[in-house]
Structure 1
Amino acid sequence: MENKLDVFRRELVDVQGVPLFWSIAEKWAQVQSFEAWPDDLLISTYPKSGTTWISEILDLIYNNGDAEKCHRDAIYKRVPFMELIIPGFSNGLEQLKNMPSPRLVKTHLPVQLLPSSFWKYDCKMIYVARNAKDVAVSYYYFHQMAKMHPEPGTWEEFLDKFMAGKVSFGSWYDHVKGWWEKRKDYRILYLFYEDMKEDLRSEIQKLLKFLEKDMPEETVNKILYHSSFNVMKQNPNANYTTLTKEEMDHSVSPFMRKGISGDWKNQFTVAQYERFEEDYEEKMKNSSLKFRSEI
């Protein structure tokens, strides 16, 4: 048995041109052959784009706003991270095998790496996208505390890696654009983190319509309350404090750090901003996808 700590801080491994954790790459055949069920709901995001937030909202919707039911376990057990395999710590594929239907399934995979069974069964999917600059900042702090990632280096070094797509799950640009295009052909509800921050009630209404569910206003109000940043930050079943310090060290940076839009302004220098914007324009010029960098 390898030393448990040897599984962390290792270099990423390319899978079809996308950098992934070494342990996912090793078990890639198992990930690819994952068998979705027709009533699975897939939650897809690029990392640090509101994944835990949308997962908590959907678990609340699936449990009709009953917060007690949503306290049954940690979010990463209620909504398993399908492709995450860390020997001795986590195996999303095994977790999902043992879950009752209907399952909520989380992925960070870019659209071209998603197991084909999701397309075969035309599963409903919800994608949440967040503006690139806030994602880069959040991902930098996440790398510091979440040990399955390689060491991030300095902010300047990390920003270079992020812009080049040399971080786990690859290029943010390819990720958001790939899922945006795919929504034209499949049942994908594409949401924006900034819209959720601005008016969560109307985004929840979109979710309910997409899921063909009716809910009284009183239940929606409960969901709004229990999925608010401050309540989730205090909720051990949502804030990842139930993981070991080897996996995530909250003393370095909390998993739920700020949860705001526009925090990039506290991190980017003027020179970094200008370089980033120029690169962004080039990479996004042929896409109809538009983001707000603050609200």
Structure 2
Amino acid sequence: MSKHRKKFITLINKATTDGEKLAPEEMTFSYDGIIYPTTLCSPETFKALESFEAREDDVFLAGYCKSGTNWVGQILNDLVLTSAKNTEDSDSLDDEELEEFPYIEVGDAEKYQRMKRLPSRRVIFTHLRPEKLPASIFSKKVKILLLLRNPKDVATSFYHFCNNWNAYPSFKTWDDYFTAFMNGQMLWGSYIDYIFEWNKHADDENIMAITYEELKENKVQVVKQISEFLELHPTDEEIQGVVDRSSFQAMKANADNTHGEFGNVLFRKGGVSDWKYLFSEEHNREMDAAFEERLSETKLGRKLKYGVYCKA
């Protein structure tokens, strides 16, 4: 991750401060049928995003909220920086003046003009579904790393995140939150719909899908697979360095530099199966049924290994 992060921390701190001043009904807006936070996004930004011009060597990380995008983003940025470290452009890849908030849909409407100044390879994150992304990303066959996580842990982690960060609307009870999550009345929309829409691109050659769980199980192997997908050629020693720097403990220890006070909200547990502490039998039945109906027969649904990670 960038050494500087000053602009990142400034935007996050502003979102936190703004959220403390807003009434619950002022904290969200709807754009093209999806709910977003007013503290981070705006209709003007989404309108400007439509004309964003991707580069063929861009790298996109796509993942729903609380799927592990911060973690995998660290890995991606580290791989790209490691690969570029001996080139004449390596310093500009970590230039504070050229920093932009990594999520493409977050920030002011002028950010896309500034992003034209960013050196290649640009590493860009997004929580958006594919049909909400600019057409140039797909027409130029930009490489997209698609990150998935089992739906029950996503729901659980997002619940704690919403209730611990003032920039997002909170929920009085887990039941209230679960209803909103299952009905798609959440920030960035329904996770079930998110996976369903991305599954339409599951066989695209420029898209590689990985899961949070497989990365947890064998980080070295998955990091190697990511580097091969991006056509990078790190040494085994460099791979191990990327793995070490992206451990939960290392990232949490460095959180003051990378995320400021927001790190206390972001780095909670970083584990698997935390959902078992919140889901009742009724919650399990409802999500199991939704998964079975929408995703069980899809390629991405099978990749999630729902029977392994989401059964009590």
Give the number of equivalent residue pairs: 280
Equivalent residue for 1:245? none
The alignment status of 1:294 with 2:309, answered yes or no, reads yes
Equivalent residue for 1:209? 228
SS in 1 for 2:125: strand
Maintained 8 Å contact 1:55/1:79 = no
Maintained 8 Å contact 2:34/2:188 = yes
Superposed displacement of residue 184, structure 1: 1.9
Equivalent residue for 2:200? 181
Structure 1 residue identity aligned to 2:211: F
Equivalent residue for 2:67? 49
Cα deviation code 1:191-242 (max 9, x no counterpart): 1111000001111111111111222111111111001111111112676225
Shift in alpha-carbon separation, 1:12–1:131, aligned structure 2, 3 A: same
Q: How does 1:81-92 map to 2 (within 5 A)?
A: 81-85=103-107
CA distance in 1, matches of 2:240, 2:253: 19
Maintained 8 Å contact 1:82/1:96 = no
Question: How does the TM-score come out when normalised to structure 2?
Answer: 0.79
SS in 2 for 1:14: strand
Equivalent residue for 2:274? 263
Superposed displacement of residue 29, structure 1: 1.1
Return the match for 1:24 from 42, 47, 55: 42
Shift in alpha-carbon separation, 1:48–1:73, aligned structure 2, 3 A: farther
Q: Which has the higher helix share?
A: 2
Q: How does 1:87-126 map to 2 (within 5 A)?
A: 93=112, 96-126=115-145
Maintained 8 Å contact 2:55/2:140 = yes
Gaps of 5+ in 2: 1-16, 86-90
CA RMSD, aligned part only?
Answer: 3.1
Bigger mean CA offset, 270-279 vs 184-193: 270-279
CA distance in 1, matches of 2:258, 2:65: 15
Bigger mean CA offset, 36-45 vs 129-138: 36-45
Shift in alpha-carbon separation, 1:13–1:149, aligned structure 2, 3 A: same
CA distance in 2, matches of 1:121, 1:160: 38
Gaps of 5+ in 1: 243-247
